[in-house]
A and B are shown apart, each in its own frame.
Chain A
Amino acid sequence: GQQLNQSPQSMFIQEGEDVSMNCTSSSIFNTWLWYKQDPGEGPVLLIALYKAGELTSNGRLTAQFGITRKDSFLNISASIPSDVGIYFCAGRFIQGAQKLVFGQGTRLTINP
Chain B
Amino acid sequence: NAGVMQNPRHLVRRRGQEARLRCSPMKGHSHVYWYRQLPEEGLKFMVYLQKENIIDESGMPKERFSAEFPKEGPSILRIQQVVRGDSAAYFCASSRDGDQPQHFGDGTRLSIL
Contact = CB atoms under 8 A, between A and B. Distances in A.
Interface of A: 4, 6, 31, 33, 35, 40-45, 48, 88, 90, 96-105
Interface string B25-58: 0000001010100001111110010000001101
A42 B55 contact: no
5 contacts: A33-B101, A42-B4, A44-B104, A98-B95, A102-B42
Contacts of A100: 33, 35, 43, 45, 93, 102
A2 to B, nearest CB: 10
A49 B58 CA distance: 25
Nearest to A40: B106
Interface string B70-111: 000000000000000000000101010011011111110000
Given A88-B42, A104-B42, A45 B103 contact: yes
Interface of B: 4, 6, 31, 33, 35, 40-45, 48, 55-56, 58-59, 91, 93, 95, 98-99, 101-107
B107 A42 contact: yes
A52 B45 CA distance: 24
Contacts of B48: 98-99
B41 A104 contact: yes
Contacts of B104: 35, 42-45
Contacts of A40: 106
B43 A102 contact: yes
Nearest to A96: B98
Contacts of B107: 41-42
